[in-house]
Structure 1
């Protein structure tokens, strides 16, 4: 385990791969921690340096702020500036992909290429996020966990014992951190900034994603000139969990092409 000290406290990191190698940074989704990537990391190219971190208010990272998307982008920028010698490939899922879009827009010198998985330039509406916030404030995360699992995973995965582990991860997220991140999502709209991006991009959707449907994800891919779009059949919102081999088969060639200078 490793910590990066930020104004709000500690940001929890895990770093694997050789020192001095090209860096790939991973940003996870609302209600998950850096274990989101456990199943795909062994399937990605060797010789790269992989950095994962828990968003503020998630996993082992401290609570504090996080109610605007720029807070999360500032954390990602701090990670890159502290641990990378040059621009990185940024891989983000859901809000992680939205964070990546903000970082690439604000600091194009730090992002060589983007992988946006199950993400979009705008996710949900202010009203839908406010309803989620009120539900968590009234009943805690456990009260919405089953509904979230239906949006996250396709029926086949929900029938497996592993579902209980992902439900527990989501339900044990600090409510204050979850609510702050919902507020960040409610206020985030990167459409115009993402339309101005000029960098290699790989955009991945899940056919059965109940949180960011394929049409929404593809609309964001269409904003970035030259972006490649792929839809994984049968996958929900977290294809790196449900279909790690298929997800890695898309991402690995992209990293081989774009992670190196």
Structure 2
């Protein structure tokens, strides 16, 4: 386990693959930690790529400042982490709020983000009223009060009936309430439509057919803001297709890595 001590937060992070390889940075969703990518990393090439993932503030083993959080702070955390671990340029893979962080970071540091995967995310997710309602309910009853409704957004019905779904429910409910509330407030205040439309980089959008948190038409619309981008949709998948259908998800990632990195893959 590794901790990066940054200016206003300590972030837990991990790297796999080739320590001298081309950096691929993964940013996970609200209510999950870096284990979100556990099924994906083993399916990607071990040679030529350095896979980096981290727990954003208020999640996993990272520190949890008092909310609310600003999206700018989450982006600065990520920027400082990449500087600290010597990542000069990378391909950024962001899911949900991780994709919002990726869009923001690409606008702030276009020289550093060479390509972007927008998975189950959007330039604007939901309304301020919707997020405030969720924040109020969590303050009153904890994340447990929202857990079943959130799980319905995360996964299709078949996966929700599996034993594995219990593990993801436990991960969600054990997320610090302050961290979940803080990141919810950051999402509520963010609309990147204008800045994302100005991005000039290779981009892949990944949607889930059954995703109720970021519906596929929303993911597609955000992806299409970026000229030359491509969108793919995973059938029968919810908000976390990397968990439900890792082989398909990793296949889309591999194709994109071949297209956008300097690393020759086989």
Return the TM-score normalized by structure 2: 0.96
Task: Pick which of 111-120 and 76-85 moved more.
Answer: 76-85
Query: Following the alignment from structure 2 to structure 1, what is the Cα–Cα distance between the partners of residues 7 and 137?
Result: 29
Encode CA deviations 1:236-260: one digit per residue, 9 max, x unaligned.
Answer: 0000000000101101121122232
Q: Report the counterpart of residue 49 of structure 1 in structure 2.
A: 50
- The SS at the match of 2:111 is helix
Q: Report the counterpart of residue 63 of structure 2 in structure 1.
A: 62
Counterpart among 132, 148, 172 of residue 134 in structure 2: 132
> Any residues of structure 2 matched to 1:50-199 within 5 Å, and which?
50-64=51-65, 67-199=69-201
Q: Report the counterpart of residue 2 of structure 2 in structure 1.
A: 2
Structure 2: gaps spanning 5 or more residues: none
Encode CA deviations 1:161-200: one digit per residue, 9 max, x unaligned.
Answer: 0111000000000000110000000001000000000000
Task: Pick which of 2-11 and 91-100 moved more.
Answer: 2-11
Shift of 1:102: 0.1
Q: Report the counterpart of residue 205 of structure 1 in structure 2.
A: 207
1:12 aligns with 2:12: yes
Encode CA deviations 1:83-123: one digit per residue, 9 max, x unaligned.
Answer: 24421000000000000000000111110100110010000
Residues 55 and 61, structure 1, Cα contact 8 Å, conserved in 2: yes
Structure 1: gaps spanning 5 or more residues: none
Residues 22 and 259, structure 1, Cα contact 8 Å, conserved in 2: yes
Q: Deviation above 4 Å: which 4+ runs of structure 1? A: none
Counterpart among 241, 244, 247 of residue 243 in structure 2: 241
Number of aligned pairs? 261
Counterpart among 203, 217, 220 of residue 219 in structure 2: 217
- The SS at the match of 1:144 is helix
Shift of 1:71: 0.9
Return the TM-score normalized by structure 1: 0.97
Shift of 1:66: 6.1
Query: Following the alignment from structure 2 to structure 1, what is the Cα–Cα distance between the partners of residues 57 and 245?
Result: 27
Residues 203 and 230, structure 2, Cα contact 8 Å, conserved in 1: yes
